[in-house]
Structure 1
């Protein structure tokens, strides 16, 4: 379940951070907005989380407009720092909204038993198929993007934004559009996760770890590629699960240490990630085949 969830979040992040190469570390903001929107609609108004999921995505899209307008004025590490600050500010705001959003204590989702319309199932397998479906949708969007003029514009912006604007690409507009799409998908993940664990609070919904994980799996797997976030998630989440199984609580911090070592190895050895290495090998074999013929 975690592999599918973080693959989905990674694919959503990759639209912005991979193709347009805008390194955002504040996607927890949209994860949390999606989670809180659907939960408030469900708990206070009895609205189905399926509807709340879409509503949360729309709220995240709308929130991305002023956030993007402010953050896109910055580039490089300054943009990254601004996105981190945005997510942290939202977390502090929801911590203070005790009457509206339950404050620091959070709230539990009412357990209705087997209620598919309310996104509650007796069997965990149902949640597996829900997040699998979301991942397929996100991969479909990415697949279309790669082969459309939008994808080419984004890649041009990622390589050299000034040069892209010089040849007529409206960089601010393109970044705004892809940021909205990335925020929408990330918000869907927030709704799903809240329904899966039956609990929400600001520290969980706006956790900085979500932003880090989304970027990390994409970087390791290969940013700007279709399957990069999925491959990176499989590697990191499997490694994490195996370490927890083998070591338990006997070695605190070992998981983060291994994560750091993997990230450093990828950046130093293959900055393009695992998928970049695979694509390079394919291209090399293709050139050999052409030369041999």
Structure 2
């Protein structure tokens, strides 16, 4: 057991070293952009996975918190000159506060009704921000003032700097997930995900646990919204509250393996890399090709490997361990 743990830490250290050195070795701006998208959507998937994976509460409304984080930091920056680093935290707090009434309403429902309710809240927020012309620039949106190389305002000349910010966010999300997974809260979440009524019967306060994990998940998602807005230098309701954000967060987790630490990361690497390459190779000639491939991958996973790629890797590792035990 000790040897396996040591090897695991060595592999983790090697992976971290590769990730840190990657922008120094890869000079292509297009490749760095793909890496940033992978890290960002892996982080969003990790945030979603806390709610949709461990607790199995299929939320498709996380775009609401993505957008709230983006708008909060942008309004503070443009109207009051507040650094996006501070606005990022403020956006997370706003998203957490918004998740309280949203969760109070949506958690009264279960199954597909809960999912539909979360979609409705995200779409309602988008419509509200479309009408806020004076405060939130309405449907036209606005551009972020380009200050050049201004690290204190989260603006950098080199894309590699954005890469390291996204890497830091992903590391934060994974650390929080690992901490929760190994705590009593993680066990309660799994119990709620398996059978909420049975969990409550043995004393688990399911409403409180779901509320608390929803707060954490919404906070992390809002951080991603701030980063994305600063990265593309533009914000409007259609971008900030884009339904595709919610879909991709769920999709990468399902393909990678819901309720696992590394599932969203593995799913994002597969899907985002595939999407980027297909768009660059066939995007101009075959429209929507990446969506077709997404659907095929998702159907294949659901039909043959419902546990996702992490489930496949776990089963292969267990077979390897059993063979070694038999030989020994």
TM-score by length of 1: 0.98
Per-residue deviation, 1:284: 2.7
1:132 to 167, 174, 184: 167
Residue 118 of structure 1 is matched in structure 2 by 153
- 2:212 aligned with 1:177, yes or no? yes
1:55 to 74, 90, 97: 90
Q: Deviations over 1:137-171 (max 9, x none)?
A: 10001111111111000000001101111111000
SS in 2 for 1:23: coil
Residues paired across the two proteins, number: 293
SS in 1 for 2:147: coil
TM-score by length of 2: 0.88
d(CA) in 1 for partners of 2:158, 2:297: 35
Q: Deviations over 1:43-72 (max 9, x none)?
A: 000000000000000000000000000000
Question: Which 4+ runs in 1 deviate beyond 2 A?
Answer: 283-293
Q: Deviations over 1:162-205 (max 9, x none)?
A: 11111110000000000000000000000000001110000000
- 2:103 aligned with 1:43, yes or no? no
Residue 7 of structure 2 is matched in structure 1 by none
SS in 1 for 2:60: coil
- 2:278 aligned with 1:243, yes or no? yes
Kept in 1: contact 2:283–2:289 (CA 8 A):
no
d(CA) in 2 for partners of 1:13, 1:280: 24
- 2:200 aligned with 1:200, yes or no? no
d(CA) in 2 for partners of 1:102, 1:289: 63
d(CA) in 2 for partners of 1:244, 1:237: 10
Per-residue deviation, 1:292: 4.2
d(CA) in 1 for partners of 2:188, 2:315: 23
d(CA) in 2 for partners of 1:69, 1:125: 41
Per-residue deviation, 1:242: 1.5
For the aligned residue pairs, the C-alpha RMSD in angstroms reads 0.9
